[in-house]
Structure 1
Amino acid sequence: MDDEAPTPEPPPALSPSGASTFEQCPRRWRFRYVDRLPDPPGPDALAGTFAHRVLELLCGEAAADRTVERARVLARMVWPELAESDDFAALDLDADGVRAFKWRAWSAIEGLWDVENPATVEVHATELRVDTVVGGVPFRGVIDRVDVEPDGLVVTDYKSGRAPSARFAPARLTQVLLYAAALEAESGTRPVRARLLYLGQRSVDTTVTRDTLDEASEGLRRTWDDIRRSCEVDEFPARPGPLCGWCAYVDRCPEGSAAVAERQARREAEEAALLALAESA
Structure 2
Amino acid sequence: MSQSTEVSEPTAEPVARRRPALSPSRASDFKQCPLLYRFRAVDRLPEIPTKAQLRGTLVHSVLEKLFALPMPDRVPARAKELLEPAWAELSAERPEWSELFADDKPEQVDKWLESALKLIDSYFGLEDPTRFEPEACELHVEIELGSGVLLRGYVDRVDVAPTGELRVVDYKTGAAPREIGEAKALFQMKFYAVVLWRLRGIVPRQLKLMYLTDGQSLAYTPDEAELLRFERTLEAIWQAILKAGKTGDFRPNPSKLCGWCDHQARCPSFGGTPPEYPGWPEPDAGEETPIDRAD
Distance 1:139 1:208 in 2: 19
Task: Kindly tell me the number of residue pairs found equivalent between the two proteins.
Answer: 248
Contact 2:64 2:137 in 1 (8 A): yes
- Give the Å deviation of 1:138: 0.8
Contact 1:114 1:199 in 2 (8 A): no
Q: What's 2:98 paired with?
A: 89
Contact 1:155 1:176 in 2 (8 A): yes
- Structure 1 stretches (4+) deviating beyond 3 angstroms? 165-171
State the percentage of identical aligned residues: 38
Matched, 1:225 2:234: no
Distance 1:160 1:243 in 2: 19
Task: State how 1:200-239 maps to structure 2 within 5 Å.
Answer: 200=213, 201-239=215-253
- Corresponding letter in the other structure for 1:33: A
Matched, 1:57 2:71: no
Segment of structure 1 superposing worse, 233-242 or 168-177: 168-177
- Give the Å deviation of 1:166: 6.5
Contact 2:168 2:207 in 1 (8 A): yes
- Give the Å deviation of 1:215: 3.0
Distance 1:108 1:135 in 2: 40
Contact 1:126 1:145 in 2 (8 A): yes
Matched, 1:180 2:193: yes
User: Partner of 1:157: helix, strand, or coil?
Assistant: strand
Distance 1:102 1:113 in 2: 17
Cα 1:166–1:150 change in 2 (3 A) is farther
- Corresponding letter in the other structure for 1:220: L
RMSD between aligned residues:
2.2
- Corresponding letter in the other structure for 1:206: Y
- Output one character per residue of 1:13-34: Cα deviation in whole Å (capped at 9) or x when no partner: 0000111111111111111111
Segment of structure 1 superposing worse, 55-64 or 12-21: 55-64
Distance 2:111 2:242 in 1: 42
- Corresponding letter in the other structure for 1:210: E
- Corresponding letter in the other structure for 2:153: G
- Corresponding letter in the other structure for 1:91: L
Matched, 1:145 2:157: yes
User: Partner of 2:134: helix, strand, or coil?
Assistant: strand
- Output one character per residue of 1:99-141: Cα deviation in whole Å (capped at 9) or x when no partner: 3421332222222112211222331111111111247321000
User: Partner of 1:237: helix, strand, or coil?
Assistant: coil
Task: State how 1:31-110 maps to structure 2 within 5 Å.
Answer: 31-84=39-92, 85-92=94-101, 93-95=103-105, 96-110=107-121
Q: What's 1:26 paired with?
A: 34
Q: What's 1:123 paired with?
A: 134
User: Partner of 2:130: helix, strand, or coil?
Assistant: helix
- Give the Å deviation of 1:206: 0.9
Q: What's 2:172 paired with?
A: 159
- Corresponding letter in the other structure for 2:210: L
Distance 1:203 1:42 in 2: 24
- Give the Å deviation of 1:97: 4.0
- Output one character per residue of 1:184-227: Cα deviation in whole Å (capped at 9) or x when no partner: 22233332111111114211111131022123222212211221
Distance 1:64 1:135 in 2: 43
- Output one character per residue of 1:46-88: Cα deviation in whole Å (capped at 9) or x when no partner: 1101100110111122221111011011112212123443342
Segment of structure 1 superposing worse, 206-215 or 69-78: 206-215
- Corresponding letter in the other structure for 1:35: D
Distance 2:232 2:108 in 1: 43
Distance 2:229 2:185 in 1: 13
Unaligned runs of 5+ in 2: 1-18, 273-295
Distance 1:75 1:172 in 2: 26
User: Partner of 2:171: helix, strand, or coil?
Assistant: strand
Contact 1:135 1:221 in 2 (8 A): no
- Corresponding letter in the other structure for 1:181: V
